[in-house]
Amino acid sequence: MYQKHVSGTHPSIGAAAAIGRLMRLTEEQMIWALGLAASQPVGFRDSFGSMNKSFNPGRAASNGVFSALLAQKGFTSSNQMIESRIGWANAMSTKQNYSELLGDLGTRFEIAKNTYKPFACGIVIHPAIDAAIQLRNQYQLQPDQIKSILIKANPYVLELTGKKSPQTGLEGKFSVYHSVAIAIIDGRAGEKQYSDAAVLNPKTIALREKIIVEADPNLAKKSGEAIIILNDGRVVKRYIESAIGGVENPLSNEQLDAKFLDLTEDILPRSKSKLLLENSWNMGSIASAGNFAKSTTV
């Protein structure tokens, strides 16, 4: 069972390797840095729905940086901390495939498979949200038109995001029920749709109660289907093969711009947000990192 929060248990090693490379650590120092990072995993699934969930990857990155700094100063570690019988890999999992770590090293870069999430919630819910928004927009759906909603999803959706009655915005990020409801109501699933107010809105709760989620082991994590029965007897449905934001269906530059401006709306004046966005797209031509940082000041 997926009990550990991999965003907290794995990134410390990657951060240590990246920082160690930038610091030009010796081979011995890099081994120590990786060993120190491997001894600091943080994060369990029980934190999902709380501030601690976001703390996990941040702390993991911090631990990686700290490990590299320690190794640079001669702070030692085991030379087999990752692969040892009693080391990191065996503590994290009952099965190991070291070719995933070392295969095509230097030519295969997992970060190239990463994409930008369009929705501010667990990625396993994205196919359901994508389907709900598409149906809402195509048929101009309103909550009071809907009799019921059936979501067909990979089993991980219920395992990871099965909170039926979230009480806070953070819990809403792990509720497929809230996510689909708010997608129908707002046509979006950004940060504002995961506020405490949005989760506790009677309109959202009423629609949430009309949603049924059916686990289908034959569905991939990137796929899902929404079937909506309307009060007038019509049935509308949408199957998502690859949810928006995934490798097969990435966000366009225009969609990325819209997400950026939405996230910075309550932080920076619009003019500053647009300047920062422009500088982000033209990072390579900016004379110094200091000039980029100045564009964020109010």
Query: From CA 110, how far away is CA 107, in angstroms rounded?
Result: 10
Per-residue pLDDT for 2 more than 50? no
Query: From CA 63, how far away is CA 16, in angstroms rounded?
Result: 8
Q: For tokens 């994409």, name the residue.
A: 115
pTM of the model: 0.81
Query: From CA 144, how far away is CA 203, in angstroms rounded?
Result: 9
Query: From CA 194, how far away is CA 121, in angstroms rounded?
Result: 8
Read off the amino acid at residue 292: F
The confidence score (pLDDT) of residue 209 equals 97
Read off the amino acid at residue 74: G
211: enclosing H helix or E strand? strand 211-215
Residue-wise pLDDT for 252-295, tens only, equals 999 999 999 999 998 889 988 999 999 999 988 888 888 888 87
Domain ranges of the chain: 6-113, 123-240, 253-294
State how far Cα 26 lies from the chain centre. Answer: 34
Contact 143, 207 (CB under 8 A): yes
Banded model confidence at residue 67, pLDDT cuts 50, 70, 90: very high
Q: Which two tokens stand for residue 270?
A: 């619009």
Residue scoring higher pLDDT (3 or 1):
3
Class of the 123-240 domain?
Answer: alpha beta
Looking at the chain, the whole-number percentage of residues with pLDDT higher than 90 is 64
Q: What's the mean per-residue pLDDT of the chain?
A: 90
